[in-house]
Chain A
Amino acid sequence: MAKKELLSIRSIVAVGIGSALFVILGRFGSIPTGIPNTNIETTYALLAVFSLLYGPVAGLLIGLIGHTLKDFIFYGSPWFSWVISSGLVGLIIGLLVAGISIQDGVFGKREIIRFNLAQIVANAIAWFAVAPTLDILIYAEPANKVYTQGLAAGAANIVTVAVIGTLLAVAYAKTRTKQGSLRKLG
C-alpha cells in the first residue's frame, strides 16, 4: 500500500489516523495483566500493524507523533525517551518487514515468523537498550531501575504484538481475499 513513494498522500493520512488511533488506544486500550505496573498496551499492536501496512517512515512518524500527543493530551507532558523509542519500534518493524505484500492477502507462516522476528528485534532494541539509556542520559535515573522497567515494558510489548498484532495482521490479510475464488453454496 503506497510504499513506492516515501510520503504519498495515503501515507500522510495513514500517519494522521494512525497517530489518532495510537492516542485513543494508548489511553483506553491498556489491559491489566495481573502483574503490577505491567499492562498489555494494545497500542503497540496497532503500531506494528500500521508499520507493516504503510512502511517504516509511517511507522516512525506514528510512533513519534502518536506518543507525543498521547502524553500531552492525557498526562500533560511528553516523556521524550519513550516517545523516541516508540518511533524507533515503528521504524525498525517497517524496515524489517519490507516486501511482505499483506495487501494482496499474503500472510502465511513464513510472513508471520518474519513479522514476529522483526517486532522482537524492534522492541528489544527500543525498550531493552534505547529507552533506558535515554532515561539515564536525560533524567540521570538509576541504571538498574530503568533497565528493569525497560525489560518489563519490552517483554510486555513483545507478547502484545506477538498475540494481538499477529491476529490482527492475519485477519486483515483474510479481508483481502479476492471474490473470484468463491462460489455460492446450495
Chain B
Amino acid sequence: MNQLKRKITDMKNTVIEFTDFSFTYRTQQEPTLRGINLSIRQGEKVLIVGPSGCGKSTLAHCINGLVPFYYPGESKGSLRIAGQTPGERSIAALSQAVGTVLQDPDGQFVGLTVGEDIAFVLENGAVSPAEMNERVTAAADAVGIGELLLASPQELSGGQKQKTMLAGVLAGNVDILLFDEPLASLDPYTGTKTIELIHRLQQETGKTVIIIEHRLEEVLHRAVDRIIVMNDGAIVADLPPAELLSSRLLGEAGLREPLYLTALRYAGVTVTPEMRPEHLELLQMEGTAGPLQRWMDGRGKQQESAAAEPLLELKEISFGYDEKAEVLHRLSLTVNRGEMLAIAGRNGAGKSTVSKLICGFYKPASGSIWLNGRDISRDSIRERAERIGFVMQNPNHMISKTLLYDEVAFGLKLRGVPEERIRERVYNVLKICGLHEFREWPVSVLSYGQKKRVTIASILVLEPEIIILDEPTAGQDYRHYNEMMEFLQGLGSRGITVIMITHDMHLMLEYAQRTVVLADGKKLADDRPERILTDRSIVEKANLRETSLYTLALKAGLRKPEELVRTFIAYDRGVRRG
C-alpha cells in the first residue's frame, strides 16, 4: 500500500519524461536518439555520460528546446517537461523552466559585465529595474561573485565566467538546471570547486540538476543520484553510481572509470556496490591493501629515463604585454631532445606566453632563447618555424584551405618546394597521421579531432625538430584522447621533441616524461609528473589536483605510495595497447 503511494507521488513529481522517444535531425538520414525511456524526478541529480557522438548533447537539446526549435528534425514517441510537451511551446517558454549552462563560457557570456550578463534573462523578461537589481545581487552572492558585478569578461578566469553563467541561470528562477559539459574549459582545481558549488546549490534549493560530462571522476567528487550511460543514440545503463561503477558497462561504452577503481581491478580486487566505489573517501578498503601492495611489488621498479641532451634552452626570460604587468620573470627552462614535456600552471601563469616567445610571436624584454646551442633570439617567426612547429588549441584558427591535401601542402608551397617533392612529403605525413584515406576530402566534413590532426600534419610536413601543442586533447572524449596521445607518443619515438601546454592531469601522468609547473611567471617545479601530482603544495599553487591513485595509495597505507602511480601508468599503457 505504502509502496503504491510512493509510486504515485513519484509519478506526480516527474519533471522530465521521455517515452519511446526517437529523434532524427533534418540534415541526417539516421536517428540520433533511438527509443529513449527516461524519467527524472523533481530534485534529483543526474549525470549523463557517453562518448562523443553518442547523442547526449542531442538529449540535452531536447530538454532545453533547441531541438526542435533551433535544430529542426523529426521526433517519435513522447516527451514531457514540467508537465508540458516542448514541441507545442517555444524555446523562450521552456527557458522559464529549464536553465542551461553551456560548454563554452565565451559564447554564453554576452553581457559587457558580470552584472549585465546575470541580468540577461531578466532583461528579456522585461523585469522592472528595481527587482532586477535585487535578483542579480542575490544570484551573484549565491555563487560568490558579488564583488565582481562590474568586471568585464576579459578580466575573468574560466571559473569566474562559469560562476557568472550559473548565477545567470539562478536569477531566472528555473526548476531544472542543465549543465552541458561544465568542466570542459576548467582546470582540475576549478572543476572540483564547480562541482562543489553545483552540489551546494542543489542541496539548498532542491532544484533538479542534470549534468552532461565525460570527466566522470571529477563529477563524482560530489554525490549524484543516478548515472545514465548513453552509447550510439540509446541509453545503455541507468543506475545508481555504486552499481554502475561495479559493473563493466563504462568500459564497454568506451568511457573511463575513476583511476583508483582501475588500479583496484588491476590488483585483482573485485569492485562491488557494498564497497562504496562512488567516492574515494567512502571506499571500503578492507582486504584491498594487501593485493595492491603485492601487485605493485610484483611489477618491479620502473626504469629512469635515459641521459638528457639539451635541445631548446630559455635563459632568464622576462616578458610583459605592457610595461605595467610582467607575465614572465627571469624564467629558465631546458627542453631535451626527443622528450615529451608538459607545461602546466593555472590561467595567467604564463604557459601560452612561453610558447609564443619560443615561436617568436613576441620578443622577450630580456633573456635569450637557444636552439641546438645557437642563440635564436634574432631569428624571425618564419626562420624559427623551420625548426619549431606550433599547433594552436583551436584547429579552426589554423585551417586556411578547403581541401585537406592543399592545407597540408600549403607551408611547402609557400617555401617553393617542387610539386613532386610536396606530394611525396604530404602523403607520408598523412599516412603517419592516419589521414591518408581522406586525402581528397574537404577539411570541413572532418570531426574536431581529425581537424586537429590535420593541423598537426600541416606542421609536421615542415619537418620541425620540436612541436609545441596547446591543449592537444581539449574537447575530446576518452577514445579520441587515447588515439591522439598514442599518435603524439609515436612522434616522440621518431625523434621529434614534443612540448604540450596543458592542465589535463591524465595527459601529464600518462604521457609526459617531465612536467614544468609555472606560477606567477616563475618556474615552480620541474620534475616527473607523478612526483608533481603527489606534492600537495605544488598541486595547490598550480590549480591541479592530487591524483586519486596517490590518495588511494595513502589510504591503503602502501609502502612508497608514489610508486603506485608509476606502476599503474606503465601497466595501464600496456593494457590499453592490448
Contact = CB atoms under 8 A, between A and B. Distances in A.
A and B touch in the complex (CB under 8 A): yes
A185 B440 contact: yes
Contact of B442 (A174, A184, A185): A174
A182 B445 contact: yes
A185 B439 CA distance: 8
A76 to B, nearest CB: 21
A171 interface: yes
Given A184-B438, A185-B437, A186-B437, A179 B402 contact: no
A186 B431 CA distance: 11
Contacts of B442: 174-175, 177
A171 B443 CA distance: 11
Interface in A127-186: 171, 174-179, 182, 184-186
Nearest to B439: A185
A179 B445 contact: yes
Contact of B402 (A171, A182, A184, A185): A171
A185 B442 CA distance: 13
B30 to A, nearest CB: 12
A177 to B, nearest CB: 5
Nearest to A171: B402
A175 B445 CA distance: 8
A174 B445 CA distance: 10
A175 B442 CA distance: 7
Contacts of B402: 171, 174-175
B272 interface: no
B444 interface: yes
Interface residues of A, number: 11
Nearest to A177: B442
Contacts of A174: 402-403, 442, 444
Nearest to B436: A185
Contacts of B321: none
A182 B441 contact: yes
A185 B435 CA distance: 10
Nearest to B442: A177
Interface in B301-318: none
A42 B436 CA distance: 35
Interface in B428-469: 436-445
A108 to B, nearest CB: 15
Contacts of A177: 442, 444-445
Contacts of B443: 175
Of B438, B442, B443, chain A has the most CB atoms within 10 Å of the CB of B442
Main secondary structure of the interface of A (DSSP, over half): loop
Contacts of A176: 444
Contacts of A179: 445
A184 B444 contact: no
A42 to B, nearest CB: 14
B410 to A, nearest CB: 13
A186 B439 CA distance: 10
Interface in B358-403: 402-403
Interface string A39-57: 0000000000000000000
Nearest to A174: B402
A9 B441 CA distance: 33
Contacts of B439: 185
A176 B445 CA distance: 8
Interface string A102-127: 00000000000000000000000000
Contacts of B441: 182
A72 B444 CA distance: 37
Contacts of A178: 445
Nearest to B443: A175
A181 to B, nearest CB: 9
A93 B150 CA distance: 40
A100 B470 CA distance: 39
Nearest to B107: A13
A13 to B, nearest CB: 9
A186 B20 CA distance: 40
A179 B447 CA distance: 11
A118 to B, nearest CB: 23
A179 B28 CA distance: 10
A186 B427 CA distance: 12
Contacts of B403: 174
A77 B2 CA distance: 76
A102 to B, nearest CB: 14
A175 B437 contact: no
A115 to B, nearest CB: 18
A85 to B, nearest CB: 29
Contacts of A175: 402, 442-444
B445 A184 contact: no
A179 B442 CA distance: 9
A139 B360 CA distance: 46
A175 to B, nearest CB: 4
Contacts of A185: 436-440
Interface in B169-202: none
Contacts of A171: 402
Nearest to A175: B444
B505 to A, nearest CB: 35
A111 B490 CA distance: 46
Contacts of B440: 185
B527 to A, nearest CB: 42
A182 B443 CA distance: 12
Given A175-B442, A184-B437, 13 more contacts: A174-B402, A174-B403, A174-B444, A175-B402, A175-B444, A177-B445, A179-B445, A182-B441, A182-B445, A185-B438, A185-B439, A185-B440, A186-B437
| List of 10 A-B pairs having minimum Cβ-Cβ separation, nearest first | A175-B444, A174-B402, A184-B437, A179-B445, A171-B402, A177-B442, A185-B437, A182-B441, A174-B442, A175-B402
Interface of B: 402-403, 436-445
22 contacts: A171-B402, A174-B402, A174-B403, A174-B442, A175-B402, A175-B442, A175-B443, A175-B444, A177-B442, A177-B444, A177-B445, A178-B445, A182-B441, A182-B445, A184-B437, A184-B438, A185-B436, A185-B437, A185-B438, A185-B439, A185-B440, A186-B437
